Structure 1
């Protein structure tokens, strides 16, 4: 199993503006300018929060964007999720642990999902695109992280107005050999 974060932030680290909107992202470029399609083809499972689900369900034909994956929404409002998305609740890290070990899992959304998974060191890859936008305030990607985490830089690429940085979890064996 590999757990991925794949998403775009502003130069000052925000996923969305203070009203949880993404206008800044859509005004900067489109997913066709990024690695989105190639990335999605490698995914088996998506897990998103309710706020992210509420945002994407307003996109015309949004379900076709997630047709090839098993999709979950972390929510206490189980009756508000479409048939293609399975509502889940409780500890997100425990849920991730319960998924089959041979699946690639994409965590979609904000710090409500990202924080507990980072605090349990569950991300194998952080694929972060950065847009040339400064909001000054908004919804941060990283919030309330309780531990030091180390990743290795795997690649840096430019796609239109976006910079994509791929970080891979540092191997425990690599750390061991650094100190032996």
Structure 2
């Protein structure tokens, strides 16, 4: 079982623009190619984890029935201090507090499959701070935003990260780093 943060980022390291929009990502001509391996990745995922901003973006930009089409009945934890809308039929738990106790629940629910931290960067950083993040996978888009939500707002130095894979997916560079 591995806890993975898998996301797209701009070349200058942002996962959303200053308005928390992903329009920049959807405008990249090969965006579908870059996410083409998500289906294969998802087959190995037993539990999902999101921050409230990521979840709210999904709720505002995806049709309600898309949750089950995209993620099935995988148990999902959303970290928030607010009341958020629910996707009909989604297996979602809204939680607050530290990631450590919730991670243990996610591990139990995932079984022998992985945990996917979909976003955001600060949530992935909390898992890294707690020593619970095993891998960072990023699809680097040919876009610069100049500001927005950072990929991973933590100081992780080269002795903590090991590059294990590089792949070109259309206009995207997919980078896979393991945390030590």
TM over 0.5: yes
Gaps of 5+ in 2: none
Give the 5 Å matches for 1:143-154. Answer: 143-145=153-155, 148=157, 150-154=160-164
TM-score by length of 2: 0.84
Report how far residue 88 of structure 1 moved: 1.4
Q: Which residue of 2 aligns with 1:107?
A: 117
CA distance in 1 between partners of 2:118 and 2:100 (Å): 14
For 2:126, which of 116, 119, 137 is the aligned residue?
Answer: 116
Gaps of 5+ in 1: 171-180
Task: Classify the secondary structure of the residue corresponding to 2:5.
Answer: strand
Q: Is the 8 A contact 1:44 1:68 kept in 2?
A: no
1:74 maps to what in 2? 79
**In the alignment, is the contact (CA less than 8 A) between 1:81 and 1:87 conserved in 2?**
no
* SS at 2:45 equivalent: coil
1:98 aligns with 2:99: no
Look up the match of 1:178.
Answer: none
Give the TM-score taking structure 1 as reference length. Answer: 0.84
1:4–1:105 contact (8 Å) kept in structure 2: yes
Alignment match, 1:174: none
- Please tell me whether the aligned partners of residues 6 and 126 of structure 1 are also in contact (alpha carbons under 8 angstroms): yes
How many equivalent pairs are there?
169
The DSSP-based 3-state class of the residue aligned with 1:80 is: coil
RMSD: 1.9
Contact conserved, 2:25 with 2:141, CA < 8 A, in 1? yes
Q: Distance in 2 between matches of 1:81 and 1:49?
A: 14
Partner of residue 15, structure 1: 15
Which of 59, 62, 71 is residue 59 of structure 1 equivalent to? Answer: 62
Q: Given the superposition, is the C-alpha separation of residues 132 and 32 from structure 1 closer, same or farther in structure 2, using an over 3 Å criterion?
A: closer
Q: Distance in 1 between matches of 2:85 and 2:173?
A: 35
Q: Does 1:30 align with 2:31?
A: yes
Is 1:139 matched up with 2:149? yes
Q: 4+ residue runs of structure 1 moved beyond 4 angstroms?
A: none
Max radius of gyration: which structure?
1
